[in-house]
Amino acid sequence: MNTTIRKEISLRKIRPQLAKEKIEGCHICTSVTPGEPQVFLGKDKAFTFDYVFDIDSQQEQIYTQCIEKLIEGCFEGYNATVFAYGQTGAGKTYTMGTGFDVNIMEEEQGIISRAVKHLFKSIEEKKTTAIKNGVPPPEFKLYNEEVLDLFDTTRDIDAKNKKSNIRIHEDSTGGIYTVGVTTRTVNTEPEVAVSLNYR
């Protein structure tokens, strides 16, 4: 029996104007009707999403409404992926944001730092019920159709013609797993920050 559940949610966050855009006198060309999941571009184009967040929406609101349940599902055996897509300047980095920069105020922290905090808070809560968890995050990227292990310090950076030994497989239930990827077990938020900045 296949227990893999796939659910895709589309959302659109309209980011605030950048200081440069304000100085240059750029105009906001999108609008949102409160309570409706549509973004209007000008007067005649409308785009519908599952969720729409206007300029005044807070990062916490986006996380709570769209991401929180995905993270909770990880503790029930589900995999979760949050993927940001869009043109340059659309607000992907602002919305996802690593949030490990000490200069970022908590209310501006993006999805990644909120998810990491949520994960470790839940782990701490589960420790009280005698469940010990370490989270081994493999970190790899696809580059020119080659899978690269970002934690592998022995890989020769200039060895561009060498094939990677990393393999991505699907198990009998539709779950995805990797073979040959270096993992590091992290137990705290700061360890995640160090791992993400290791590259």
Binding-site residue set: 86-93
How far apart CA 82 and CA 80 sit, in angstroms, is: 7
Backbone angles phi, psi at 181, to 5 degrees: -100, 135
- Across the beta sheet with 30-32, the strand order is 30-32, 38-41, 45-48
Pairing relationship of beta strands 11-13 and 51-53 according to DSSP bridges: parallel
What is the amino acid identity at position 8?
Answer: E
DSSP state of 135: B
Cβ-proximal residues to 95 (8 Å cutoff; 6+ apart), any chain: 13, 15, 59, 62, 84, 110, 111
Annotated binding residues for ATP: 86-93
